[in-house]
């Protein structure tokens, strides 16, 4: 059977997309869990939330209702930054060091009586109240403030009858990676160079060596 000529692949990267992930965080990550489930496993369930009410856009507790990346503590209600003007009749203002002559400074005013909610009706991250000295009054709740700490998306011990593939990267080399469900046998392939031998047969140039897997958390992109 004859097939028309067509391009099956013209490269992954176009010039206009070069460095498109720069400063996005997407170029520095760990692929900690790779799983396949039968059917659909919604995000609220993967994150460990209680029920599907956390999956309703417009609902304040919607799992995606987190602050924009440009937000900081000044976007909490009850926290203001005010400019203190220069008062030449007093000692108010910066008059020492490299900032001479005297200049204004900013003062952070924190009202401990206010509930301190995010501007724009955002909910996450849920933080303890900040006192007038800029410290959290309580410890940050990392157990249940955003799903649960052992949610499927971060729990390395996958479970459930709907789990049909669970990649285990906790190995020394790529030749040793396995599917912990035992449903799938894995073969790891990497780039290699081919050449034609004297009999015009394709051969692999050199020896294919497995890659090592970094397990030291200090060296990983955590």
d(CA 91, CA 104): 11
Q: pLDDT-based confidence at 3, cuts 50/70/90?
A: very low
Average pLDDT across the chain, whole number: 81
Q: pLDDT-based confidence at 18, cuts 50/70/90?
A: low
- pLDDT tens by residue, 86-120: 766 665 555 455 545 566 778 889 998 889 999 99
- pLDDT tens by residue, 149-172: 888 888 888 888 899 999 888 888
Cβ contact 56:42 at 8 Å: no
| pTM higher than 0.85 | no
Q: What is the DSSP code (8-state) at residue 211?
A: P
- Token pair, residue 160, equals 């459930």
Is the pLDDT confidence value at 81 over 70?
yes
d(CA 16, CA 18): 6
Is the pLDDT confidence value at 4 over 70?
no
Per-residue pLDDT, averaged over 38-51, amounts to 91
Phi, psi of 80 (to 5 degrees): -130, 150
178's enclosing H/E stretch is strand 178-179
The alpha-helical segments, DSSP class H, found in 25-125 are: 43-46
- Structure confidence at residue 117 (pLDDT): 94
- The domain limits of the chain are 67-119+130-136
């Amino acid at each position: 059977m004859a097939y028309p000529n067509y391009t099956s692949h013209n490269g992954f990267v176009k010039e206009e997309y070069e460095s498109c992930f720069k400063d996005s965080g997407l170029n520095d990550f760990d692929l900690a869990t790779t799983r396949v489930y039968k059917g659909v496993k919604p995000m609220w369930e993967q994150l460990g939330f209680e029920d599907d009410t956390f999956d309703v856009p417009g609902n304040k507790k919607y799992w995606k209702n987190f602050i924009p990346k440009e937000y900081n503590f000044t976007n909490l209600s009850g926290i203001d930054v005010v400019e203190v003007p220069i008062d030449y009749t007093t000692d108010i203002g910066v008059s020492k060091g490299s900032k001479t002559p005297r200049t204004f400074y900013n003062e952070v005013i924190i009202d401990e009586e206010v509930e301190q909610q995010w501007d724009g009706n955002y909910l996450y991250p849920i933080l303890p109240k900040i006192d007038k000295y800029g410290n959290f009054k309580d410890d940050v709740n990392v157990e249940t403030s955003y799903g649960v700490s052992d949610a499927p998306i971060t729990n390395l011990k996958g479970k459930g009858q709907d789990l049909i593939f669970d990649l285990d990267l906790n190995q020394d080399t790529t030749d040793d990676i396995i599917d912990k469900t035992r449903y799938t046998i894995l073969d790891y392939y990497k780039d290699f160079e081919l050449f034609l031998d004297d009999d015009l047969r394709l051969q692999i140039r050199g020896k294919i060596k497995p890659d090592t897997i970094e397990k030291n958390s200090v060296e990983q992109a955590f």
